[in-house]
Amino acid sequence: MKTAILSIGDELLLGEVVDTNSARIAARLADAGIATARKLTVGDDEGAIAGALESLAREHDVIIATGGLGPTDDDVTARAAARATGRRLVLNEEAMARLREFFVRLGREMHPANGRQCLLPAKAELIPNPTGTASGFHLLLDGCLLIFLPGVPAEMAVMLEETVVPLVLARRGGYQCTRTSTLTVFGLSEAEIGSRLSDLDRSRPGFAVAYCVEYPVVQVKLRATGADEGALAALLEDMAALVRERLGGHVVAGDGETIDTTVARLFRETGMTLSLAESCTGGLVAARITAISGSSAYFLLGAVTYANDAKARLLGVSDGLLAEKGAVNAEVAKAMARGARRLAGSDLALAVTGIAGPDGGSPDKPVGTVFIALADRAGCTAKGYHFSGDRDRIRTITAVTAMDWLRRRLLAG
């Protein structure tokens, strides 16, 4: 069965709105084992919509369209559907009855313009909209099932779940589904990961691997398609284990996790506490740690010591060291970590100091030079890095590297 998604709206062609509806529909269909063959976006133009419906209907069995069912003049989808299918627009009595009910439930008077939303192509089947005024509908064009939904994401989602998915599944018959497992990888390039996993792809029927770069991590997506959900889950588990074997400690998060939630989980599991001392990341690491609900249980304090004076006063980094060696070196990173640990009384303390740029670099210490240090009961270790990119990228990869230090330390127990 070939399925297409048609998104309708001038705001999409102007790039004012990102099309989340089509992603949501595609994801829901994929969960039900239905592949989307293509997605198309056209504006609020009757001719363009009708033309898109006619050409998609020639090559697909199902088209799910969203948008253009509102009460204003620029909403022309129903008229375009009537034109494409050679029908008249008529007042749909069921839609009108439901709309009246809707306003009674709301305790509000119906605006006359809303009546326009009940003008649907003759003999269209209604798709109820329990949370809004725009009814959906479906009808056939040359054997292709055309489905129309409003563009308001929350309304669309309810109608997709309640009516559209069952409708499409009934049309297809024969159950098949796709399951995805995502592993997050840090510290290896996409090319390196691809080469280590190149034999996995298509090594089993119905199995595929895809890569998605979300700087600075790469997501490895394992996908399995078939009729037996239990078998798919087992296959994905086997494949995920194989990927972990091949990529080792570079897999920083499993399915449904991020490196940040992984670190949060490890803090909860180990009962360790944390303090931070940040210079070039300027609070980014603390912001990532505290983005996770429950972080107050293990995160005691963070010091954003941007000025040298703050490093000395807050963390007890010696003025002599700062004067002699500057703020960006392993000794200062270590002194910051020790100072934060002392100040907070935490089990672990992580410190970051570096040059995020674009200014502040020197031939000796170019922009991107970063030192990270971690102090615990046993002592303190530090390491230097040379990252590349603009200020934003250097800060981001430094913060993720810091999270990875915490992850590895917590795993070590």
- Residues 275 and 346 sit within 8 Å (Cβ to Cβ): yes
Out of 1, 114, 272, 384, which residue is the one contacting its own copies (CB under 8 A)? 114
Q: CA–CA separation, 240 vs 237, rounded Å? A: 5
Out of 85, 129, 135, 295, which residue is the one contacting its own copies (CB under 8 A)? 295
Per CB under 8 A, 189 contacts its own copies: yes
Stretch that binds its own copies, among 85-93, 253-261, 286-294, 402-410 (CB under 8 A): 286-294
Per CB under 8 A, 198 contacts its own copies: yes
User: Would you call 155 helix, strand, or coil by DSSP?
Assistant: helix
Of 304, 265, 18, 7, residue with least CA distance to 147 = 7
User: Would you call 154 helix, strand, or coil by DSSP?
Assistant: helix
Per CB under 8 A, 287 contacts its own copies: yes
Q: Which of residues 88-107 bind its own copies (CB under 8 A)?
A: 105-107
- Residues 235 and 205 sit within 8 Å (Cβ to Cβ): no
Out of 47, 166, 248, 358, which residue is the one contacting its own copies (CB under 8 A)? 358
- Residue closer to its own copies (CB basis): 123 or 215: 215
> Least distance (Å) from its own copies to the CB of residue 124?
21
User: Would you call 42 helix, strand, or coil by DSSP?
Assistant: strand
Out of 141, 243, 344, 406, which residue is the one contacting its own copies (CB under 8 A)? 344
- Residue closer to its own copies (CB basis): 280 or 332: 280
- Residue closer to its own copies (CB basis): 202 or 325: 202
Per CB under 8 A, 71 contacts its own copies: yes
> Least distance (Å) from its own copies to the CB of residue 224?
12
- Kindly write down the DSSP assignment for every residue of 360-404, as one continuous string: S--SSS-TTEEEEEEEETTEEEEEEEE--S-HHHHHHHHHHHHHH
Q: CA–CA separation, 121 vs 134, rounded Å? A: 14
Out of 296, 363, 364, 413, which residue is the one contacting its own copies (CB under 8 A)? 296
DSSP state of 110: P
> Least distance (Å) from its own copies to the CB of residue 305?
5
